[in-house]
Structures are given as structure tokens and as C-alpha cells.
Amino acid sequence: MDQLNNQEQRELQMRMEKKQMSQFMNMYSNLVQKCFESCVDDFTSAKVTSKEESCVMRCVDKSLKSSERLGQRFQEQNAAMAQSGGLMGGR
């Protein structure tokens, strides 16, 4: 990134932020769809039942914790690879 001028750095930063937002929105949408399909099954009422609500809360909590744990493991793997010189730029 040091070889880019200020304008190019700003443009790259904006693209990266846009990509991150897109990925976040995609993840959020998938989570909502998964938890809704798993938990909401009574369409006779416009209101969400307490059973459905607690199911959705558990689903979201479990998904977020899984995602967090996966991210931690990914960081650990990257650190181990970097230490052993397994990543590009590692020595």
C-alpha cells in the first residue's frame, strides 16, 4: 500500500470498507434467514411467540459465538503460519 498515492489509498480504503459492509450485510441476512426458518413455525398469529423468540435468541447467540470462535482459530492459524514463514512475506 506504500506504493500508492494518497488518492489511490483513499480509493482502496473505500473499496475495502464497502466490501466489508457487503460481507457483514450478507452474513446478517443469512443469520436472520437461518434463525427464522429454524424457529418461526406458527403463522396463525402476527406476533412472535415467546418460544419462537427464545429460539431465535439462542440461534443468534450460538451463531455469533461460533463465528467469534472461528475467527479466533483463524487468527491463531495465521499467527502460527507467519511465525513458521508459511505466509507470503514471512521470513
Q: What is the pLDDT of residue 2?
A: 66
Q: What is the pLDDT of residue 4?
A: 85
Which tens digit of pLDDT belongs to each residue from 39-88? 998 899 899 999 999 999 999 999 999 999 999 999 999 999 888 876 65
Report the alpha-carbon distance of residue 62 to residue 55 in Å, rounded.
Answer: 10
Report the alpha-carbon distance of residue 50 to residue 60 in Å, rounded.
Answer: 15
Compare 89 and 81 and report the one with higher pLDDT.
Answer: 81
Say if residue 22 is exposed, middle or buried (CB neighbours under 10 Å; 0-12, 13-18, 19+).
exposed
Q: What is the pLDDT of residue 88?
A: 58
Angle value at C-alpha 27, between 78 and 80, nearest 5 degrees: 5
Say if residue 34's pLDDT is above 90: yes
pLDDT band at 91 (very low <50, low <70, confident <90, very high): very low
Whether the pTM exceeds 0.75: the reply is no
Q: Helix or strand or coil: residue 62?
A: helix
**Helix (DSSP H) and strand (DSSP E) numbers for the chain:** 2, 0
